[in-house]
Structure 1
Amino acid sequence: MDASLFKDRDIFQKCLENIQKEVSRSKEDFLQEHFSKYDDPSLPPVWKTMEVVSFGMLSKLYCNFSDVDVKKAVAHSFGLPQYLYLETWTKCIAVLRNLCAHHDRIWNKRFPWKPQLPKRLPLAWIDTRSLRPIKLYAQLCCLAYLEQSIHPKSDFKEKVIALLYDKSQTITKAMGFPANWQEEPLWKE
């Protein structure tokens, strides 16, 4: 990895150290095979390395990348018109993922990161006017949007709807869900 591609060299160095730890402790067969054949460079090619890197680390790398045109291209590939949306969304999703992985409470949590929420997007989206971005609903909307851009036939949205089907509006409101949220284009399509 080339440090000159990143804005903050200190952040890059910490990321690189963490990536090297993640790769060295991985028991993945493809990495074991790689290291049985090669010992230079110290990291496998990026397409192998990224298989074992955490989502949080990917978020940090993306946010620290210095080439704005590349960041824009990545964001556009997910149907996002600005790279800043993807930066904030990946930070939020990394936090949500970690909370879930550690069985933390998320249902009425105030999240530390607020995703930037555009008014319009190329794919099905939501009305953001009365949305509370620090609540779970905003995080799930970002996740659902990215999921539909990656895998349009995913059943993620159906599973969220089914999970919340019989919950009272008091509970869904505590999670930041507006009334009739299932009628939003993002959740209907």
Structure 2
Amino acid sequence: MYDKQSFTIEQHIKQLQQRGLAITNEQLAIHYLSHVSYYRLAGYWWPMQSDKEKHIFKPNSKFEDVVALYNFDRELRILLFDVIEKIEISLRTKLIYHLSHEFDPWWFQNTNIFENSGALIETLASIKEEVDRSKDIFIKEHKQKYKDDLRFPPAWKTLELTSFGSLSKLYGNLKNTINAKDTIAKELGAVNHTYLPSWLQSIAQIRNYCAHHSRLWNKNLPGAPKLLSKPPYKWVNDVPTDNQKLYIHLCIMKYLINIIAPENSFSVKLIDLLAKYPSVDPNALGMKPDWTNEPLWK
């Protein structure tokens, strides 16, 4: 039976010190623990512990380094959220344009063009919630003007409200015989429908981590994106083998953003962020020692 009682901030600080975490500035510790929960910060000092059961810290473990990791991770999420927004808007635009022309404005309700009708029903349920919650004027006006039309608003209205997760599911669930599926993949540098679904799935997951302020820094990410053997645009020469680390996902985002926004400053901002926090080990993200010299990142 769980019988632990809640600690005061002062008790937490004393316990951390007893376990070997150096806290030279107690006011700093009090400040952070009063604004950031103990267990959120614990995710950043966990790797500093030599004994995970007794929670004993390695020599020279410092609270200031915990704070640096926390702030680095927060700024990394902000940076990635900005990149993912551009990818999301591009995907949404291409889905609306290509599928509406190949079929009609209600293609996303057409079970004949999807592989898994059950998965489509689940996605449409999520989309319906998003549409029903919407306070946007263009949705309100559509419902008033076409109140006898029981269908969703057309794709160019409905999909503007649809989450990246639902967009990626719609794309991935399209039958491979649908022309637009290959067209969209080709326009985003993924050659054909084989690779892009796994890319979008991984980016959607990372977007959720960013939206919910979850730790990204040393997280092992679920899923393994399929990689092109010969990408048509600049890629990395030293392809990482550990697809659970963040680096390969960063590479995919960089690859896509180079096509969507060629003048992007993703490389510069990522390099500057790592320079701002020198105590952060890039290896925890799966970064290669010479990653900045890769064609993709230049």
The structural deviation recorded for 1:129 is 3.4
Which residue identity is paired with 2:243? Answer: P
* Root mean square deviation, CA, Å: 1.7
Task: Give the structure 1 partner of residue 168 of structure 2.
Answer: 59
Letter in 1 for 2:156: W
Residue pairs, 1:28-107, within 5 angstroms: 28-39=136-147, 40-68=149-177, 69-107=179-217
**How much does 1:164 deviate?**
1.6
Residue identity matched to 1:142: I
Distance apart, 1:67 and its partner CA = 3.8
Letter aligned with residue 295 of structure 2: P
Matched, 1:179 2:289: yes
Q: Tell me which amino acid in the other structure corresponds to 2:229.
A: K
Deviation sequence 1:17-39 (CA, Å, 0-9, x none):
11111111011222122222112
Deviation by residue 1:81-107 (Cα, 9 ceiling, x = unmatched): 132211110000010000111111111
Q: Given the alignment of the two structures, is residue 110 of structure 1 paired with residue 110 of structure 2, yes or no?
A: no
Aligned length: 188
Aligned partners of 2:115 and 2:175 also within 8 Å: yes
Quick one: which amino acid aligns to residue 160 of structure 2?
E
Q: Which amino acid aligns with 2:244?
A: I
- SS at 2:195's partner residue? helix
How much does 1:130 deviate? 3.6
Equivalent-residue separation in structure 1 for 2:160 and 2:272 (angstroms): 31
The question of whether the paired residues in 1 share the 8 Å contact of 2:235 and 2:296 is answered with yes
Deviation of 1:128 after TM superposition, in Å, equals 4.5
Does 1:16 pair with 2:124? yes
Please list the CA deviations of residues 131-153 of structure 1 after superposition, one character each: whole Å capped at 9, or x if unmatched: 42111111111111111111111
Length-normalised TM-score, structure 1: 0.92
* Aligned match of 1:147: 257
Higher Cα Rg, which structure:
2
Give the ranges of 4+ consecutive aligned residues of structure 1 lying more than 3 Å apart after TM superposition: 128-131, 166-170
Q: Determine the C-alpha separation between the residues in 2 that align with 1:145 and 1:41.
A: 40
- Cα pair 1:119 1:128 within 8 Å, conserved: no
Range that drifts further, 147-156 or 19-28: 147-156
The whole-number CA distance in structure 2 between the counterparts of 1:158 and 1:141 is 14
Write the distance in 2 (CA, Å) between the matches of 1:166 and 1:96.
23
Identity, in percent, stands at 39
**Could you tell me whether the CA contact under 8 Å between 2:164 and 2:204 is conserved in 1?**
yes
- 5+ residue gaps, structure 2, are 1-108
TM-score of the superposed pair, with normalisation by structure 2: 0.60
Q: Which segments of 5 or more consecutive residues in structure 1 lack a partner in the other structure?
A: none
Measured in 1, the distance between the counterparts of 2:240 and 2:251 equals: 14
Verify the 8 A CA contact 1:79 1:121 in the aligned structure 2.
yes
> Counterparts of 2:117 and 2:206 in 1: how far apart (Å)?
27
Residue type matched to 2:286 in 1? Answer: G
Q: Is the CA contact (8 Å cut-off) linking 2:274 and 2:280 kept in structure 1?
A: no
SS at match of 1:83: coil
| Farther off after superposition, 36-45 or 49-58 | 36-45
